[in-house]
Amino acid sequence: MDERAYQQEPFGEEELPPNHRSGFVAMVGKPNVGKSTLLNAWLGVKLAPVSPKPQTTRTPILGILTRADVQVIFVDTPGIHKPRTLLGEYMLDKAQRAIDDADLILFIVDVSRPPDDEDRQAAQFLAQEAPATMPILLALNKADAVSEGEREAHRAAYEALGAFQESMYVSALTGLNREELLQRIIALLPKGPRFFPADQLTDAQERFVAAELIREQVLHFLEQEVPHAVAVVVQEFKERPNDVLYIAANIFVEKDSQKGIVIGHGGSMLKRIGQAARQSLEEFFGTRVYLDLWVKVRKNWRRNERYLRQLGYPPPRKRTAR
């Protein structure tokens, strides 16, 4: 999505302090460096799905952090990777467009390990896509998981990958320097009004959030090739009497064998996924949830343009050269 296409008229300008700041922050990096975990920690709520599986984030998720003096609009982007399917091309295109709309880029790496080819690819991606005047902060995440000596060596290697405004150790999980990094982000944002109401958390529809929270549990319970082949579409989302939210969703896979794995013996795996997903949904929406899950096969949907559109992943538009 083009985030700025969804902007509304500025909100509450007369109530804001004269030095109020606001802007879009593109969270960029290779898969599995902690982008979504960091976003959720700053927002104080599980908005973006989190799992150790690559490509957990497929569509940019916009998270809005509003304080009295600032509104930070974070855009959690898909991990930068070499696309091998139409779905991969879609994901890379979304990351590119998030950079186009950003006021600042937060390049996130896993400092517990030295840079690898994917990190170098992500850094090269930034060098090609980010305007020369765009401020880029290097967030050295997972700093709690490595010794001081290794950490310093890895930091130097990451800093050598590009031209960064500055770098900072951080831990999305433990909170190390999390607020300090946020303050540096805020200091680099332009002065301006709010783009969204103060109580708005995201621009994503409730159905999208529900689908992502369900898919997160599929990723959590399943291994090997199945998670990459899974898409979730919410078919029904409506309130029922007695404050119960009814959600019916289809879990799509690419093969009959994958369908069997998702369902499990006697429906055991689907039941486990459903129970965990229902708990996440109830925590997010703050109400009881009745969840209906169905598993369906769409053969090779990641390579099929028609299926991609049906499942909410339209192929990327052609881009003009910079």
Per-residue model confidence (pLDDT) at position 275: 97
What is the band of 4 on the pLDDT scale with cuts at 50, 70, 90? very low
Per-residue model confidence (pLDDT) at position 225: 62
Q: How many CA atoms lie within 13 A of 204 on its CB side?
A: 23
How many other C-beta atoms lie within 10 A of the C-beta of residue 306?
9
What is the band of 1 on the pLDDT scale with cuts at 50, 70, 90? very low
Cβ(101)–Cβ(60) below 8 Å: no
More confident residue, 80 or 186: 186
Q: What is the spatial distance between Cα 120 and Cα 25, in angstroms, rounded to a whole number?
A: 21
Per-residue pLDDT reduced to its tens digit, 257-301: 999 999 999 999 999 999 999 999 999 899 999 999 999 999 988
| Alpha-carbon separation of residue 186 from 106, 198, 231 (angstroms) | 12, 16, 35
How high does pLDDT run on average in the chain?
86
How many other C-beta atoms lie within 10 A of the C-beta of residue 55?
17
Pick the CATH number of 206-310 from 3.20.20.100, 3.30.300.20, 3.40.50.620, 3.40.640.10: 3.30.300.20
How many other C-beta atoms lie within 10 A of the C-beta of residue 153?
14
Structure tokens given for 135: 């401020």
| Three-state secondary structure call for residue 209 | helix
Strands in the chain per DSSP E: 21-28, 61-67, 70-76, 104-110, 136-141, 166-169, 231-240, 244-253, 288-297
Per-residue model confidence (pLDDT) at position 310: 82
- What is the percent of the chain where pLDDT is above 70? 88
- 69 alpha carbon, distance to own chain's centre: 25
Strands 166-169 and 21-28: unpaired
What is the band of 94 on the pLDDT scale with cuts at 50, 70, 90? confident
Cβ(203)–Cβ(73) below 8 Å: no
Per-residue pLDDT reduced to its tens digit, 47-57: 876 666 656 66
Give the pLDDT mean for 293-310. Answer: 88
322: pLDDT strictly greater than 70: no
Per-residue model confidence (pLDDT) at position 267: 95
Compute the C-alpha angle 43/133/75, nearest 5°.
Answer: 20
Nearest CA to 139 among 28, 22, 21? 28
Cβ(257)–Cβ(229) below 8 Å: no
167: pLDDT strictly greater than 80: yes
255: pLDDT strictly greater than 50: yes
CATH topology identical between 3-188 and 206-310: no
Q: Please list the helix, strand and coil fractions of the chain in percent, rounded to the nearest 5, in that order.
A: 40, 20, 40
Per-residue pLDDT reduced to its tens digit, 171-217: 999 999 999 999 999 999 999 999 999 988 988 788 888 998 998 89
Q: What is the spatial distance between Cα 232 and Cα 253, in angstroms, rounded to a whole number?
A: 9
Per-residue pLDDT reduced to its tens digit, 11-26: 444 578 889 999 999 9
Residue written as token pair 């994917």 = 118
Q: What is the spatial distance between Cα 171 and Cα 145, in angstroms, rounded to a whole number?
A: 9
Per-residue model confidence (pLDDT) at position 48: 73
Number of DSSP helices (H) and strands (E) in the chain, helices first: 9, 9
Compute the C-alpha angle 261/265/269, nearest 5°.
Answer: 60
* Domain 3-188 belongs in CATH node 3.40.50.300: yes
Q: What is the spatial distance between Cα 82 and Cα 230, in angstroms, rounded to a whole number?
A: 19
What is the band of 80 on the pLDDT scale with cuts at 50, 70, 90? confident
Q: What is the spatial distance between Cα 34 and Cα 50, in angstroms, rounded to a whole number?
A: 8
Domain ranges of the chain: 3-188, 206-310
Structure tokens given for 32: 């599995």
Would you list the DSSP string of 197-208?
-TT---SS-HHH
Cβ(45)–Cβ(284) below 8 Å: yes
Which amino acid, one-letter code, is at 236?
E
Beta-bridge partners for 234: 249
More confident residue, 183 or 46: 183
Total-model pTM: 0.75
